[in-house]
Each structure stands twice: as structure tokens, then as C-alpha cells.
Amino acid sequence: MKRNENLKKSAGNLVLTSPQAGILKRSSMIVLFLASAMFPRVLSAIKFPSVVNFLHFAFALALFVWVIPIIRSRIAVRLLVGLLILLTISTFSALLNKAGLINVLLNFLMLAEPFILLIAITSTKLPQNSIKKLQKWIFIFIYIHLVFVYCQKFILKVPTNDDVKGIFLNMGAGHHVGGDVALTFGVYFLLASGVRSIWLRIFVFILCLGNILVADVKQVVIAFLVSWFILIITQFKEIWKALMYLGIAIPTTIGVLKIINTLYAGIRYISDMEVVTEAFQYKLSVFSIITSFYKSDLNWLFGLGPGHTISRLGWLMKDYIQFLKPLGVTGSSVFNTVWIAQESYYWSNSITGSSMYSLLFSWAGIWGDLGIIGLGVYLYLWFLVWKYVCVDKLSKFFLITVFVAGFIFSWMEEPAFMLFVVSLIGLQWQKYHAEKSHILSQQKMQNYPFEEVLE
């Protein structure tokens, strides 16, 4: 009797008075949260108010408050504590730089949303049917995206490849977001979906790869190649595996780069290494621009305030000032200064340049807003994800693609991209522990603490 009570208590009940209802409620909320970030542009296109683009913030807040009482795993607790520290740093930075309360809230949510989703996914163990339900809905979302992509290209025949945005309609970098999401899903479906038919997995992967080609998002391929090499470097402790991976990665990368150079030989920002070097040097000039606005040594530690430099909140203020101004949002001239510097340079401006060399990228924005301490806490949160949530090499690869993307553009504050990637990482975590629990139960390890399984 006592053993049955312990098993029931450790099974991941979310609402103790109604375990099954709680489990269904959590998986449904996770799906709705993900959908709210991936489909607002579609809703806007069919004449929903533009405020629908902020709906994911409401879901993030609701999920954050709701998930706290049901946390059972140590990693979820660690992530929660890290988020609270990040919120404290953000608040102090706002007080130091006289930023508005709405700045603190929005900036925190933009950075915290992926971790909130991971806390919700890893807070307790999900049963197999809920894991399959979550995976099914992720699959459906991408299938819808791919339908949009190929309809836009071959039925609607949009004017340029940049207009092949899938479900990310009317988003400036929508074709990049769509391409990255599709390629990430293609790799996941091919290697970890659990679908038995190898031919179906290859077919879906080719469809996702086709998204890259029809939308002409070269930087996504380059980012994935860079991430692959970084993953291999992390495996150097397993020397034979590292050598084996390098033996595959080097010729593959050379082949892909030759194809890119052949297809885009006339595009110097890809094929001319002198241009590439110069453009990246100019990209890094954003750090000196931001420090030129420092007024005290404390700015090095806590930045210029949430939303006061080049974080995603700066973009929101530019596009949604009519909604944010009445809420008390505050800004500075940093964003406009960096924007002018970017648009004045041939290889980074919006007409002749590439977003690969954009001065508005996430790592610089987080550091500019919150300083060295804020960036350090943010990195610590990702370290926790790497160490405790990334249970296999595929999860680690996906996380590395996030880090690399953060050096290119403001990807780490793009909700659809971030929530989609971490949903796959969380899904792998759940699958791993479900399989581990199954093996342990088969071995009749009845007294093995559930908390250690989650750890």
C-alpha cells in the first residue's frame, strides 16, 4: 500500500486531486504556448488584431505561475532559481538606468520563455501517451508550415525567394526563421522521430531541405555546419568518435561550401574571404558603439537597462510603439545609433548586405542591456540546459545551433524559433527518462528514487 502511494506521488501528477486531468492540462498548455508563438503571423494575415503577436507573452506568464507548484525535478528547480536571479538582475539594471517596469517584464519574458517551456516540460515525468501527443502536435505544426512554403513557391508564385516565409508571414526575417525551423525538424525527424519507415523519414527530411532551397536561406546551412564542427569539438574526450565525425564532417562541409560558392559565386559576401573578414570585423564594432554610451563603471556590470540597447525589445518599440508607449516603455538612442551604423555599411545594410553581418544580434543585445553579470546568469541557465536537459548529441547539436544563431541575428529572442528548438530538446529529455524508467521497472528496481531518475 505504501509503495503504491509513493509510485502515485512520483508519477508526475500536476493536480494532486485529479492526476490524469493535470497531465492532460499540462501537455495541452505546452502545445498552446508553442502554437501562440508559431502562428500569430497567420492570424494577423486573416485580420486578427496585431496585438495577437503578444499572445505568447500571456501564455508564458500563465505557464510560469502555474508550473511552479507542480515542479518535482531538480533541474526544473535549478532553472527556476536561475530565472529568478535573472529577473533580479534585470530589475536592478532597470532601476540603475531608469527603465520602465514594462521594459523589465517584456525583456525578461523574451529571454525566459525557452526556460519556462523547459521547466514545464521537465517539471515532472510525462506518460507515454502525453509524450506522443506533444510530438504529434509538433509534427502537425511543421507540416502546416511546409504546406504554406510550397504553396507560396509553386501555387502563389511569390515574387522573390525572401517571400517564401511559410507560416511566418509578413516577418522581415520570416524566410530565415522558417528555413531554420524546417531544417531543425528535418534533422530531428530523420534521426529521432521514432518513425519506422526510413523512406518516410528521408522524404520528410528532403521536404524540409527543400524549404532551405526555395527560400534561399544560405546562412542557415552555414550555421548548421559551424554547429556540427563545434559539436565535434565537444567530443574530443572521445578521441576515436571525434576522428570518425571529422572524417565525415570535413568532406561533407567542403562539398557543401563548393556547391554554395558555385551557386552564389557572384555574391561576394559569401565567396570572397576578404569581404567576409572585413564584414565580421565591422559587425563586432557594435560593442564599442554600446560602450560609448556608458555613464559609469556599473554599466559594465549591469548594462544600459532592459530594452535600452539592441535587444529584441528595441525592435518591438520601433514597430509597436503605439501599444507600448501608454504602458510606460522607455528607450534610448543606442538602438538608432547602431541601426544607422548598420545601414551605412555596404555588407550589412538592408538592401545590399546580409543579415549574417547584422550588428543587431542577440549576444550583443543581452550584454548591452544587462551587462556582464546579466549575460553571465543567462549563460549559466544555458549551461544547466546543456548539462542536465540535453541528454544526447542531437539535443546538444540543436542547442549549439541556437548559440551560433545568436551571433548572427536576434534569434535568441525570436519566440517561434526558440520555443520550437527547446520543445524538441525537452521532448528528447522526456523520451530518455521514459525509456530509462521502463528499463528500471523491468529490472524491478522498485526502490529507485524518482528524483534521481529525473536528475
> What are 104-113's pLDDT values in tens digits?
999 999 999 9
What integer pLDDT is reported at residue 377 of this predicted model? 97
Q: In 194-311, where does DSSP find H-type helix?
A: 198-215, 218-234, 239-263, 268-271, 273-283, 286-291, 298-302
Residue predicted with more confidence, 25 or 251: 251
Answer yes or no: are the C-beta atoms of 423 and 116 closer than 8 Å.
no
Of the candidates 180, 129, 237, the residue with the CA atom closest to the CA atom of residue 418: 180
For the stretch 428-454, pLDDT in tens is 999 998 887 766 666 655 555 544 444
360 φψ region: left (φ > 0), alpha (ψ -120 to 50), beta (else): beta
Above 80 in pLDDT, residue 245?
no
Same domain, 144 and 201: yes
Q: How far is 154 from 111, CA to CA, in rounded Å?
A: 37
Q: Which residues contact 148 (CB under 8 A, 6 or more apart)?
A: 42, 165, 166, 167
Domain membership flag for residue 261: yes
Burial readout 402-422 (b: 16 or more C-beta within 10 A, e: otherwise): bbbbbbbbbbbbbbbbbbbbb
Same domain, 194 and 229: no
Q: How far is 211 from 181, CA to CA, in rounded Å?
A: 10
Residue predicted with more confidence, 21 or 300: 300
Q: Worst-scoring range by mean pLDDT, 3-12, 200-209, 225-234, 334-343?
A: 3-12
Domain membership flag for residue 157: yes
DSSP state of 389: I
Above 60 in pLDDT, residue 422?
yes
For the stretch 331-380, pLDDT in tens is 899 999 999 999 999 888 888 878 888 999 999 999 999 999 999 999 99
Q: Which residue has the cell 548572427?
A: 408
Per the structure, the count of domains in the chain is 2
Domain membership flag for residue 258: yes
Residues of the domain holding 172: 139-216
Task: Report helix, strand or coil for 160.
Answer: coil
From the CB of residue 391, how many other CB atoms can be counted at a distance below 10 Å?
17
From the CB of residue 245, how many other CB atoms can be counted at a distance below 10 Å?
18
What integer pLDDT is reported at residue 24 of this predicted model? 41
Above 60 in pLDDT, residue 314?
yes
Mean model confidence pLDDT for the chain:
85
Same domain, 227 and 202: no
Above 90 in pLDDT, residue 207?
yes
DSSP 297-318: THHHHHTT-TTSSSSHHHHHHH
Amino acid at 388: Y
**pLDDT bucket at 8, cuts 50 / 70 / 90:** very low
Q: What is the pLDDT averaged over residues 227-246?
A: 77
**pLDDT bucket at 244, cuts 50 / 70 / 90:** confident
Domain membership flag for residue 398: no
Of the candidates 319, 311, 353, the residue with the CA atom closest to the CA atom of residue 335: 311
Task: Name the range with the highest mean pLDDT among 52-66, 79-93, 314-328.
Answer: 79-93
- For the chain, percent of residues with pLDDT exceeding 70: 85
- Boundary (domain end) residue, out of 190, 216, 242: 216
Above 90 in pLDDT, residue 398?
yes
Domain membership flag for residue 10: no
Same domain, 176 and 228: no
Same domain, 210 and 179: yes
Q: How far is 329 from 312, CA to CA, in rounded Å?
A: 14
Domain membership flag for residue 168: yes
Same domain, 191 and 234: no
Q: How far is 58 from 61, CA to CA, in rounded Å?
A: 5
Domain membership flag for residue 181: yes
**pLDDT bucket at 261, cuts 50 / 70 / 90:** low
What integer pLDDT is reported at residue 234 of this predicted model? 81
What integer pLDDT is reported at residue 119 of this predicted model? 95
pTM, to two decimals: 0.88
Q: How far is 214 from 209, CA to CA, in rounded Å?
A: 9
Domain membership flag for residue 320: no
Task: Report helix, strand or coil for 310.
Answer: coil
- For the chain, percent of residues with pLDDT exceeding 90: 57
What integer pLDDT is reported at residue 381 of this predicted model? 98
CA dihedral sign of residues 187, 191, 195, 196: positive
What integer pLDDT is reported at residue 455 of this predicted model? 45
Above 90 in pLDDT, residue 295?
yes
Residue 442 CB-density burial (10 A; 0-12 exposed, 13-18 middle, 19+ buried): exposed
Q: How far is 434 from 117, CA to CA, in rounded Å?
A: 19
Above 80 in pLDDT, residue 258?
no
What integer pLDDT is reported at residue 268 of this predicted model? 56
Cα–Cα–Cα angle for 319, 322, 323, rounded to 5 degrees: 95
- Boundary (domain end) residue, out of 238, 265, 292: 265
Same domain, 202 and 237: no
Residue predicted with more confidence, 131 or 444: 131
Cα–Cα–Cα angle for 236, 238, 243, rounded to 5 degrees: 70
Q: Which residue has the cell 544526447?
A: 392
Above 50 in pLDDT, residue 16?
no
Cell numbers linked to 434: 521514459
Of the candidates 447, 295, 305, 286, the residue with the CA atom closest to the CA atom of residue 374: 305
What integer pLDDT is reported at residue 362 of this predicted model? 95
- Boundary (domain end) residue, out of 208, 232, 265: 265
Above 50 in pLDDT, residue 251?
yes
Same domain, 164 and 224: no
What integer pLDDT is reported at residue 238 of this predicted model? 67
Residue predicted with more confidence, 208 or 127: 208
Task: Report helix, strand or coil for 407.
Answer: coil
